[in-house]
Amino acid sequence: MKQWSLALCLALALVLTACAGGDSSQNSSAQSPSDASDTSQSDSGAQEAAGLLSSFSTTDLEGNAVDQSILEDYDLTMVNVWATYCTPCLQEMPDLGELASEYEDKGVQILGLVSDVLNSDGTISDSQVETAQEIVEETGASYQHLLPSADLLGLLSQIYGVPTTFFVDSAGNQVGYAYVTAMEREQFVEIIDAALAEVAA
């Protein structure tokens, strides 16, 4: 009975802090883009050598073209991978919206990456984009949100739960670890400050 209770508590904790997987046509799941990952070390190492986001092109929720040059004017970029079905993702977005404004003058930007806006054939779902736009407006998460593209599918294939948050420098190289959980504002502040100190060192 104790083992069953423990398993139930652990499962509930995961549901409350992160959403795992989802429809495979909408959300790839494998591993986090993090040094802490124990699997696929060679793939992860090759990606880090090239820079996690050193070369990519995509569009944002408003249809604007975006590439790696979006990183150049900032010492640190925080990327928050989220999904429209993920309640923990949506709960942390108001704090992220406030932090995006507060940290912009400190050389930090926040980007969202919406993971579940693809149709099964790989095209962008207009209805899912509209849902994401409504969520952004409702939560006050007015920072830029990117859509999946062919260049970002390799990255998304390493994400096994949302929200996942990771950091890159102005050249797209990963800074610190990836965090696969929803966080409180104070946790974000501590992690952002530590990552910013790391790139400044």
Q: Are strands 19-20 and 108-114 parallel, antiparallel or unpaired?
A: unpaired
User: Which tens digit of pLDDT belongs to each residue from 102-132?
Assistant: 999 999 999 999 999 999 999 999 999 999 9
Average pLDDT rounded to a whole number, residues 64-84: 98
Largest CA-CA distance found in the chain, in angstroms, rounded: 56
User: Which tens digit of pLDDT belongs to each residue from 15-72?
Assistant: 445 786 543 333 332 233 543 333 233 334 444 456 899 999 999 999 999 999 999 9
pLDDT of residue 182: 96
pLDDT of residue 141: 98
In the numeric block, the tokens 């990255």 are attached to 155
Instruction: Give the Cα separation of 22 and 37 in Å (integer).
Output: 21
User: Which tens digit of pLDDT belongs to each residue from 131-140?
Assistant: 999 999 999 9
CB 73 within 8 A of CB 3: no
pLDDT of residue 51: 86
Instruction: Give the Cα separation of 184 and 95 in Å (integer).
Output: 8
Evaluate the CA torsion angle 112, 117, 122, 126 in order and state its sign. Answer: negative
Its pTM stands at 0.80
Which residues contact residue 42 at a Cβ distance below 8 angstroms, ignoring those fewer than 6 apart?
none
pLDDT of residue 21: 54
